[in-house]
Structure 1
Amino acid sequence: MINSSANMKLIVGLGNPGQEYDHTRHNLGFVFVDKLRDELSFPEFKLEKKFAAEISEGAAHEKKLLLVKPQTFMNLSGEAIQKIMAFYKLSPADLLIIHDDIDIPVGKYKIATDSSSAGHNGVQNIIDQLGTQTFQRLRIGIGETKEDDVPVCRLGVHDFVLGRITPDEQTRITAIEKAILEAIEQLI
């Protein structure tokens, strides 16, 4: 593993470990960090037990990058992230979190810095573990919309986020895939 924190960026995709969570809305962070790894031709993810995370590392855009998929459950993601940040002596400015967001319609995304968790328990755990919300987030929409373009979900939130991505949702997510990857690279 890379040992120097100089000019390093930590890019974390949020999700739940285990095949039963593959293709769920809540695992879009994992999906996009996998896509970024492919785009950057980084090595396969390796489980780093001391961090409770899978990590792929390399260099791009004149920076060392650690791509991370915490192997804790979503709501404990901050534990793995805090361990990695402490080990590499990284600051919140070095962190980018990629996650699903029910308040954003499917097919859209937003970039946020220094914002609350808005009810996302994985993000809240990161804020709690780091003691700050001053890190970058790329929020990928999973919300359904009404006529006035206001996100809404018909199921309970828990069941909705752990539900499988529908073919229509996948089409809309795929349509913004390139834009999301470009946005991530701009944030590096």
Structure 2
Amino acid sequence: MDENTWLVAGLGNPGPGYSGNRHNVGQMVLDELAGRISASFKTHKANALVAEGRLRPGGPKLILAKPGTFMNLSGKPVAALLKFYSLDASRLIVIHDELDVPFDTVKLKQGGGHGGHNGLRDIIAAIGTPDFTRVRVGVGRPPGRQDAADFVLHDFSSTEKKVLPNLLTDAADAAEHIVTDGLASAQMRFHSPA
């Protein structure tokens, strides 16, 4: 496999009923990235929808993957794709919703725990290491006493939907920046106050 190949997994739940949920923001970012590399998603035997392309001619190759499982079972498809493409965890970027990051904010991280995120928990268990890069797309905390699990399974509010395209663009830009310039450079750009 090309040494400049990256598996970018966008987490979410399958099916149109979930497509607008906060929990599916990782897959929304993948749609943005697929548009940028002019790639279409196709069914892969690893139980995922996969789109492949390059950021520019001769540039890094991206393998964009939406696991075909529910969020809490994301690990098996991700592990199967790493094996299929002969990649290790250092070439994995996982894009996911993050309750502990304010809405309309993107944070980048290498390794660490799962922070209660069941999708990350399952990936860590399936690939045997937490040492992969995460693009944490902030969805914020639920209002009042609403249960967090219930909150992420609802669509973005009408107010949030006005800002959502910018958030998806920022997250896609962050993933691109990691691939082209490295995590430290991406963190400097995306973690700095505007």
- Tell whether the structures are fold-level matches, with TM greater than 0.5: yes
- Structure 2 CA distance for aligned equivalents of residues 6 and 18 of structure 1: 33
- Answer whether contact 1:107 1:172 (CA < 8 A) is retained: yes
The residue identity in structure 2 corresponding to 1:16 is N
Once the two structures are superposed, the pairs formed by residues 106-117 of structure 1 within 5 Å of their partners are 106-117=103-114
- Structure 2 CA distance for aligned equivalents of residues 80 and 71 of structure 1: 8
- Structure 2 CA distance for aligned equivalents of residues 128 and 110 of structure 1: 23
- The alignment of Structure 1 onto Structure 2 pairs a total of residues equal to 177
CA spacing shift, 1:89–1:57, aligned 2, 3 Å: same
Question: Which of 69, 77, 85 matches 2:74?
Answer: 77
- 1:100 alignment partner, SS class: strand
- Establish whether residue 97 from structure 1 lines up as the match of residue 128 from structure 2: no
- 1:115 alignment partner, SS class: coil
- Answer whether contact 2:47 2:68 (CA < 8 A) is retained: yes
| Cross-structure match for 1:47 | 43
The residue identity in structure 1 corresponding to 2:41 is F
- Structure 2 CA distance for aligned equivalents of residues 83 and 90 of structure 1: 10
Q: Which runs of 4+ in 1 moved over 4 A?
A: none
Shift of 1:172: 3.1
| Cross-structure match for 2:14 | 17
- Answer whether contact 2:36 2:55 (CA < 8 A) is retained: no
- Structure 2 CA distance for aligned equivalents of residues 102 and 153 of structure 1: 14
Give me the CA root mean square deviation. 1.5
- Indicate the structure with greater strand content: 1
- 1:143 alignment partner, SS class: coil
TM-score (norm 1): 0.88
| Cross-structure match for 2:156 | 165
Q: Deviations over 1:143-165 (max 9, x none)?
A: 14xxxxxx866311211110111
Shift of 1:181: 2.1
- Establish whether residue 175 from structure 1 lines up as the match of residue 171 from structure 2: no
Shift of 1:173: 2.6
TM-score (norm 2): 0.86
Moved more, 50-59 or 163-172: 163-172
- Answer whether contact 1:82 1:129 (CA < 8 A) is retained: yes
